[in-house]
Chains A and B, each alone.
Chain A
Amino acid sequence: MTDSDVLAKAAKALRQAHTGQREGSGFTRARVMNSLHRDRRRRLLRWAVFSPLASLLLVGSAWAQSTGKWPVIWQAVAAVFVSAPDPAPPPQGATTPAARPRAERPLPPAPDPDAGEAPEEPEAVPALAQPAPESAPPKAARPRSKRRAPAAQPAVAETPSAPEPPPEPAPDRELARFRAAHDLHFGGRAREAIRAYAEYLKAYPDGRFVPEARYNSALDHIKLGDSAAAREALEPFAEGRYGNYRRKEARELLEALP
């Protein structure tokens, strides 16, 4: 017998051994049909579950959009899913100069009429440019954490019949002073702003807004064309004395100064 004969015999043996006729073929047919019906049922169930959910979502969204309740719903949903605890504000005076400006970052920016004169980024304390009502406490000083709430609760608990409004926070003189300078800075009154910032720095040499005051007064010096004073004010920022706060901008400004 040759090799090819062995393979031919092997092929023939396989062919004859498996003709495809089997007693269990009816059972396999039933299995196939059953699997098909099960798949179809599963698909239908998926449709039956997801279609109403999708339509509900769609109709609900349309209703919320048309009635203007979308932001309220969105806030409620966000409150459910994003329940990160609000970090407690750092104690005043204990912050490093680099960390201080970051704490002020969430405040909205304000337009600077002289922005074209110097390459500025949005100011670090821009909310102060907006005239805020005197009664409302400034954002920087407002108690944002829920941890502070229990401190006020005992007073309320003592007089349950007549709920009193929470005590007004003490007026923040430092902030008021800085705000005055800041308003002048954003009002385009550079000379007066420099003077106001200098007064603030003199009164609060370790104040919360010292880096902002120094940087803004440097910008005011640039606006007035006083390059030497601007350079002197910007150099500490460029050297990183205030961390990375305005470091890059200060370097760019120093390079651009005549």
Chain B
Amino acid sequence: MIFALYGIMRASSLATADHPAEALVSRLGAGDSHALGEVYDQHHEAVRAFACRLVGDAAIAEDLVHEAFVALPRVIKRFHGQSSLRSFLTGVVINHARHHVRSASRRRAMLTRAGREPTPESRSPESSAEGQAFLAALNRALDTLPLDQRVAFVLCDVEERTSGEAAELAGAPEATMRTRLFHARKKLRAALEKDGIR
């Protein structure tokens, strides 16, 4: 307890105007819950957006966001400032995504079987009226991908990150990330075609 208080005080003393991000990270590492609140306020939208794009289900993405932020004080020791805190959080989301992607995929499959989601027919993504149906089909197509390829597609094509950045976030070599992206695009195209989207 005393050590934690000392850590918070020390981290607070580092909180200069020049290095607010570093001070925030220091306070996080010292177990300051207010720092976590600040990090949440600064980054929750970006983290939620990535989680939603990856999982394809808003409710499950919310659970993933919660899990990532709860895990942050524990894993912040691994953050050495090479990338931004937001990128680090994206990496945390990727590490915690497996279970959530699987459960979202199962939920979608169950809803499809129950007839709650529209069955895709011949349609075009340009049509705004059919946007939701297109998204549903897209999510189903994404469900056919392994998690690594799904992450590669979301990071590189949806979030428009370079393969180098994506590789760093996913903790994989850049060449591997490019290969994953290649296979992801190929499978996704095939799955969309199978669903009648051209």
Contacts and interface: CB of A to CB of B under 8 A. Distances in A.
A and B interact physically: yes
Interface of A: 1, 3, 6-11, 13-15, 17-22, 24-25, 28-29, 31-33, 35-37, 39-40, 44
13 contacts: A6-B192, A8-B157, A10-B138, A11-B157, A14-B53, A15-B158, A17-B52, A25-B44, A33-B37, A36-B73, A37-B33, A39-B70, A40-B33
Interface string B47-71: 1111011000010011001100110
Interface residues of B, number: 43
Contact of A10 (B44, B66, B188, B198): B188
B118 interface: no
B125 A29 contact: no
A32 B185 contact: no
Nearest to A16: B131
B49 A3 contact: no
A20 B158 contact: no
B109 interface: no
Contact of B45 (A8, A15, A21, A31): A21
A33 B197 contact: no
Contacts of B79: none
Q: Is the interface of B mostly helix, strand, loop or mixed?
A: helix
B175 interface: no
Interface of B: 1, 31, 33, 36-37, 40-41, 44-50, 52-53, 58, 61-62, 65-66, 69-70, 73, 124-126, 131, 134-135, 138, 141, 153-154, 157-159, 185, 188-189, 192, 197-198
A32 B69 contact: yes
B97 to A, nearest CB: 14
Given A28-B44, A28-B62, A10 B192 contact: yes
Contacts of A37: 33
A10 B123 CA distance: 13
A207 B48 CA distance: 87
A13 B36 contact: no
Contact of B198 (A6, A13, A29): A6
B157 A29 contact: no
Contacts of A32: 36, 40, 66, 69-70
Contact of A9 (B40, B50, B52, B126): B126
**Nearest 10 Cβ contacts at the A-B interface:** A20-B49, A18-B52, A20-B45, A9-B125, A20-B48, A11-B157, A32-B69, A35-B70, A11-B158, A14-B158
A21 B65 CA distance: 13
A9 B31 CA distance: 43
Contacts of B188: 7, 10
A201 B86 CA distance: 91
Nearest to A15: B158
B125 A10 contact: yes
Given A19-B45, A22-B48, A33-B33, 7 more contacts: A6-B189, A15-B158, A18-B49, A28-B66, A29-B44, A32-B70, A36-B70
